[in-house]
Amino acid sequence: MKIKDRVLKLSFIALLISMTAAMFYAPTASAHGEKSQAAFMRMRTIHWFDLHWSKEEVAVNDTMTLHGKFLVFAGWPETVDKPEVSFLNIGIPGPVFIRAGSWIGGQLVPRSVSLELGETYEFKVLLKARRPGDWHVHSMMNVQGGGPIIGPGKWVTVTGSMADFVNPVTTLTGQTIDLESYALDNVYFWHAVWFAIAFAWLLFWIKRPLFVPRHIAVSTGKANTLISAGDKKVGLAFALGTVVIVAASMGSTNDKYPVTTPLQAGLLRGMKTFQMPEQTVSVKVEDATYRVPGRAMNMTLTITNNGDSAVRLGEFETAGVRFLDPAVHEDDTNYPDDLLAEEGLTVSDNSPLAPGESRTVEVTASDAAWEVYRLADLIYDPDSRFAGLLFFWDAKGTRQMVTVDAPLIPTFI
């Protein structure tokens, strides 16, 4: 055998070994790129609000919930597919929790749903802690053709030991199994069997002259001398063996588990929407600029109160970042610090706006979060638009929500 051939063979085997090793090595990721998702995706698709993480520390096997509301933004970008097939999910670094259940408008949603633009929905996700550590727990909506749209995240600590984790479920035939370890031996066994067969198959063909002699044989018209009668017999044995193993194991599996149902994958339509209090305030965005050095967005808004009680602007929310005017509204939900600008909203005149009155005000939303969460990247988009939610309160504490959607012009001085 020529040296060149031997080198080729050795490199091929080395490649095979490193690929195999890579399959079994999976390092843990500690963040999941929420800041790298395009700002327009976070500001103009799903607006998550009223979020509440029920716990900040939870023991393995204990549960917590993430609940709140989301508005499917009416000004959904043209470049993203509409949320006609969407799946309510949770953004966590791998299976550190299991999703024990999720609900939209009180209805269990183990499968995809169809969402309507402009509607608000209430949701809840029940999580059961599995792996100890500090994890960033996000709300998330997977949209077909749009990708995962990630919501705000909060750090949750899972304590205890993963070895204690159990996930018992009762099947439709009344048998209780632990999904965490169910049939795991069988999974390992079959992976090993097929891996061994595949490896033997590769070795059989590698154990002979490789590329150069073969190329010479093919180019001189002697290709059929490369495969011997013995090779054909071995090939046939592999083919027959595979068919026999598949048929026999399928037969024994059908005997052992006579009742099986396929994975369910339908689409739920007509989800119950959440009715926000009637909107009596209208807002017109006259002008919006983002001041790069000040990390602040300035909006000129004309606010008209068509209701019968005086209102004040208390909050501007976009991409999960909340800017509050503490004179009107303070957060008592323990919202994540990095997403909360408690004094981030200033209004040039925030005295109560009487019924029937209309006023033009300068509103500034400033916080480091514009840069930290890379929302300011919006100004480099070919369609620099921002969108968000404005929350108004009256003296009785009744809240109403108004959406804004307008072009944003950057200033660099």
Q: Which residues are at the interface with Cu ion (CB under 5 A)? A: 34, 136, 153
Of 91 and 146, CB closest to Cu ion: 91
CB of residue 371 vs Cu ion: minimum separation in angstroms? 17
CB of residue 298 vs Cu ion: minimum separation in angstroms? 29
Question: H-helix or E-strand containing 229?
Answer: helix 229-256
CB of residue 367 vs Cu ion: minimum separation in angstroms? 18
Residues 6+ apart with CB under 8 A from 260: none
Q: Write b or e for each residue in 333-346: b if 16 or more Cβ atoms lie within 10 A of its Cβ, otherwise e.
A: eebbebbbbbebbb
CB of residue 150 vs Cu ion: minimum separation in angstroms? 8
Residue 318 and residue 39: Cα distance in Å, rounded?
A: 10
Of 134 and 180, CB closest to Cu ion: 134
> In the bound complex, which residue of the shown chain has the CB atom lying closest to Cu ion?
136
CB of residue 22 vs Cu ion: minimum separation in angstroms? 25
Of 34 and 325, CB closest to Cu ion: 34
Of 139 and 318, CB closest to Cu ion: 139
Residues 6+ apart with CB under 8 A from 38: 377, 381
CB of residue 31 vs Cu ion: minimum separation in angstroms? 5
Residue 247 and residue 253: Cα distance in Å, rounded?
A: 10
CB of residue 339 vs Cu ion: minimum separation in angstroms? 11
Of 136 and 329, CB closest to Cu ion: 136
Counting other chains too, the contacts that 169-176 makes at CB distance below 8 Å and 24 or more residues apart are 172/259, 172/261, 173/259
Residue 404 and residue 274: Cα distance in Å, rounded?
A: 19
Residue pair 89/148 in contact by the 8 Å Cβ criterion: yes
CB of residue 32 vs Cu ion: minimum separation in angstroms? 5
Q: Crossing angle of helices 229-256/184-206, nearest 10°?
A: 170
Residue 353 and residue 361: Cα distance in Å, rounded?
A: 11
Of 83 and 153, CB closest to Cu ion: 153
Of 153 and 344, CB closest to Cu ion: 153
Of 31 and 100, CB closest to Cu ion: 31
Residue 157 and residue 207: Cα distance in Å, rounded?
A: 53
| Beta strand ranges found along 82-213 (DSSP E) | 86-91, 97-104, 107-108, 112-113, 120-129, 133-143, 147-159, 168-170, 176-178
Residue type present at position 282: S
Residue 47 and residue 119: Cα distance in Å, rounded?
A: 11
Q: Which SS3 state, helix, strand or coil, does residue 200 take?
A: helix
Give phi and psi for 31, each to the nearest 5.
-130, 170
CB of residue 93 vs Cu ion: minimum separation in angstroms? 8
Of 86 and 139, CB closest to Cu ion: 139
Residue pair 138/92 in contact by the 8 Å Cβ criterion: yes
Of 338 and 381, CB closest to Cu ion: 338
CB of residue 153 vs Cu ion: minimum separation in angstroms? 4
Sheet of 63-72, strand order: 46-53, 63-72, 120-129, 97-104, 107-108
